[in-house]
Amino acid sequence: MAGHKLDEIDRKILSELQADGRMTNVELARRVGISAPPCLRRVRTLEEAGYIRGYHADVNPRELGFEVQVFAMVGLHSQAEVDLSAFEQRCREWPLVRECHMLNGEIDFILKCVAPDLSTFQSFLTEKLTSAPNVASVKTSLVIRCAKDEPGVPFDVLEDRLARLA
């Protein structure tokens, strides 16, 4: 298990930064119980090792005028690796597609899309997504409301699991 390679302080650092990536290194060090210089070294090591992929602001799409959020379930004609990779690359190029996940089962991909309005999404759907090479089917579900949107991972679950393994 990858999280097992990290010590408790590393996991605390990740948990704190996941909750608030803007805190100062001094505040982070205080929260995890070490001094600032080794805390900064640990953060840099976690970044270099790929545990921290980046920092970003959690913007409110609706406040910016993106009123429509849709999940699109996509089936492909071919699941050959070259065709899967080509579809993933196409998704990376479409600005309305914010997330693209390959699934097993009946659906090959699920896409999380945002758009300012329904007509913009409909244009994307008909002009780009459904007409893309290798796309066999697309089923969409419009998000009515979001009950939970938590970033990252549940560190308390990781800590419980590691405690049971110890």
Residues 135 and 66 in one domain: yes
- CATH code of residue 47: 1.10.10.10
Query: In the prediction, which pLDDT does 165 show?
Result: 85
CB 43 within 8 A of CB 25: yes
Domain assignment present for 152: no
Query: In the prediction, which pLDDT does 1 show?
Result: 40
Residues 87 and 44 in one domain: no
Domain assignment present for 164: no
CB 85 within 8 A of CB 123: no
Domain assignment present for 155: no
Cα–Cα distance for residue pair 92/72, rounded to 1 Å: 15
Per-residue pLDDT of the chain (166 residues; tens, 9 = 90+): 455 589 999 999 999 999 999 999 999 999 999 999 999 999 999 999 999 999 999 899 999 999 999 999 999 999 999 999 999 999 999 999 999 999 999 999 999 999 999 999 999 999 999 999 999 999 999 999 999 998 889 998 988 888 888 7
Query: In the prediction, which pLDDT does 38 show?
Result: 97
Can you give the residue range of the structural domain that contains 25? 7-57
Query: In the prediction, which pLDDT does 158 show?
Result: 87
Query: In the prediction, which pLDDT does 100 show?
Result: 98
**Structure tokens, 17:** 């930064």
Domain assignment present for 166: no
Query: In the prediction, which pLDDT does 47 show?
Result: 96
**DSSP H stretches of helix in the chain:** 8-19, 25-32, 36-48, 81-93, 118-124, 155-165
Cα–Cα distance for residue pair 111/94, rounded to 1 Å: 11
- CATH code of residue 82: 3.30.70.920
| CA count, 13 A, side-chain hemisphere, 64 | 8
CB 58 within 8 A of CB 151: yes
Q: Which residues of 93-105 are buried (b: 16+ CB within 10 A; e: fewer)?
A: eeebbeebeeeee
Residues 107 and 129 in one domain: yes
Closest of 21, 47, 43, 45 to residue 34, by C-alpha: 43
